[in-house]
Amino acid sequence: MPQYKLIYFNIRGRGELSRLLFVLAGQEYDDVRITMEEWPAQKGKYVFSRLPVLELDGKQYGESIAIASFLARRFGLHGQTDVEILEVDQVKGIVADILAALVRVFMEKDEAKKAEIVKENNETNIPKFLGFLETVLKNNNTGFFVGNKIGYADVAVFDVLEAAGALKGLVDGFPLVKANVEKVKSNPRIAQYLAKRPQTPMHSHRIPTIMPTYRFRYFNYKAMGEVCRLMFALAGQEFEDVRITHEQWAAEKPNTPLGQMPVLEIDGKPFSQSGAISRYLARTFGFYGNGDLEALAVDQVLGVIQDVIIFMRDHFKENDETRKGELAKELKDVKVPLYFGMLEKLLKQNGSNGFFVGKKISIADVSLLDIYDKSSEAIVKWEDYPLAKKCIDNVGSNPRIKAWVEKRPVTAF
């Protein structure tokens, strides 16, 4: 049996979801909790110099979502089929949206702006995301988000809603979500853990024999949809590339599962959340690594890239020119060196061969190419990151990727 060690601070935060998955699976693990006073002296011991870290048979892995996803897959809590895994990832995407909305509150230093964000969250953002979750539960009609038993999706929703105590009043307006939270809380293993935990703040996948038909709907730009299109291109898989104009969106919106795009239709059944869709395509087409450990390594990269995307998106969407300049400076001077330094480190750990995992292209490499396409030399000087540029060149020279890039519509972003 493998030896598991989860290392995190003595708070819930980004480590509690993994703890809950260990508990739900009945899997023993070493729950190492580091105090804030101990952290400066220990920081250099851990991958990326941040927590949480999963130590598996002595080898370290970082990125909280990558760790939790690996544990869920390892313990059979991440869906039993590729479509169920897609459904799990769909919920994970909504949870990530809730977390992003909450993090905006904590990151804002100006009290007046913070109050505006709280108001926007309470009145618009959080009810919208809870409505998405309510829709998923209604469609599944079992009381659980996926299948007919508790799994990763249910635990992830429970974790974010429990951690954010301020959301409890909002949850009352969504009875299916509230009932699901109670189901998780009353699970015997979870209930026992909750009663005794420290009081702190706050499978193998195969390509189907008969390939389904794919219809991908998104706006006529790259943004959150291009990684999905690139996965189709890399696999040589035909798909209907439906590009919606902003004038068409009002009429199209009711035809989407969650009132947002992109949407992937598989034999007519629609699924939402860009990350969930792209990961499903990567698994289905064989670009997610070989086995759970390589999938964990892929997710580790995707976690870092997601952080980059969030900061780039905030800069792009900022309308205030002064603030936009501040964000650009922070990106160039702080965020890009931090996160691209991590990517260089991971590429070096894989042998400096120009791939993040193994010796062939994965969704991790494709996602880096996508970042390259959307970034400017004013923000990222690629000569400073030679291994990342080597990876980008490897993906860009792939004949199928190259053909797609040459024929795709030219868009602003």
Verify that 168 and 296 share a domain, yes or no. Answer: no
Q: What are phi and psi of 241, to 5 degrees?
A: -95, 90
- Looking up residue 251, the CATH number of its domain turns out to be 1.20.1050.130
Verify that 112 and 44 share a domain, yes or no. Answer: no
**3-class DSSP state for residue 57?**
coil
Q: In the prediction, which pLDDT does 323 show?
A: 86
CA distance 268 to 308: 33
Verify that 70 and 88 share a domain, yes or no. Answer: no
Q: In the prediction, which pLDDT does 295 show?
A: 93
pLDDT above 70 as % of the chain: 95
Verify that 251 and 339 share a domain, yes or no. Answer: yes
Which residues have a Cβ under 8 Å from the Cβ of 43 and sit 6 or more positions away?
A: 49, 50
Q: In the prediction, which pLDDT does 52 show?
A: 95
Q: Look at 269-273, 323-327, 380-384 and tell me which has the smallest mean pLDDT.
A: 323-327
- Looking up residue 68, the CATH number of its domain turns out to be 3.40.30.10
Q: Look at 145-159, 202-216, 236-250 and tell me which has the smallest mean pLDDT.
A: 202-216
- Single residue among 58, 74, 90 that ends a domain in this structure: 74
pLDDT band at 165, cuts 50/70/90? low
Verify that 253 and 138 share a domain, yes or no. Answer: no
Verify that 163 and 259 share a domain, yes or no. Answer: no
Verify that 318 and 354 share a domain, yes or no. Answer: yes
Q: In the prediction, which pLDDT does 201 show?
A: 64
Verify that 382 and 257 share a domain, yes or no. Answer: yes
Q: Look at 16-20, 24-28, 213-217, 309-313 and tell me which has the smallest mean pLDDT.
A: 309-313
Q: In the prediction, which pLDDT does 116 show?
A: 86
Q: What is the mean pLDDT of the chain?
A: 89
Q: What does the pLDDT look like over 29-45, one tens digit per residue?
A: 999 999 888 888 888 89
**3-class DSSP state for residue 155?**
helix
CA distance 317 to 361: 31
Q: In the prediction, which pLDDT does 70 show?
A: 96
Take residue 193 and report the two structure tokens written for it. 């853990």
Verify that 116 and 174 share a domain, yes or no. Answer: yes
Q: In the prediction, which pLDDT does 228 show?
A: 97
pLDDT band at 274, cuts 50/70/90? very high
Verify that 31 and 94 share a domain, yes or no. Answer: no
Q: How far does CA 185 lie from the centroid of its chain?
A: 24
Cα torsion through 364, 369, 374, 380, rounded to 10: 90
Per-residue pLDDT at 168 exceeds 70: no
pLDDT band at 212, cuts 50/70/90? confident
Per-residue pLDDT at 15 exceeds 80: yes
- Looking up residue 175, the CATH number of its domain turns out to be 1.20.1050.10
Q: What does the pLDDT look like over 234-252, one tens digit per residue?
A: 998 889 999 999 899 999 9
Per-residue pLDDT at 164 exceeds 80: no
- Single residue among 74, 90, 113 that ends a domain in this structure: 74
Q: What is the model's pTM?
A: 0.79
Verify that 214 and 339 share a domain, yes or no. Answer: yes
Q: In the prediction, which pLDDT does 167 show?
A: 62
- Mean pLDDT across 180-190: 95
| Tally of domains in the chain | 3
Q: In the prediction, which pLDDT does 203 show?
A: 29
Verify that 212 and 173 share a domain, yes or no. Answer: no
pLDDT band at 373, cuts 50/70/90? confident
What range defines the domain where residue 358 resides?
Answer: 204-413
Closest to 308 in 3D by CA, of 260, 372, 357, 361: 372
Tell me which of 212 and 45 has the higher pLDDT: 45
Per-residue pLDDT at 348 exceeds 90: yes
**3-class DSSP state for residue 6?**
strand
- Single residue among 170, 196, 222 that ends a domain in this structure: 196
Q: In the prediction, which pLDDT does 23 show?
A: 97
Q: In the prediction, which pLDDT does 205 show?
A: 31
Per-residue pLDDT at 361 exceeds 50: yes
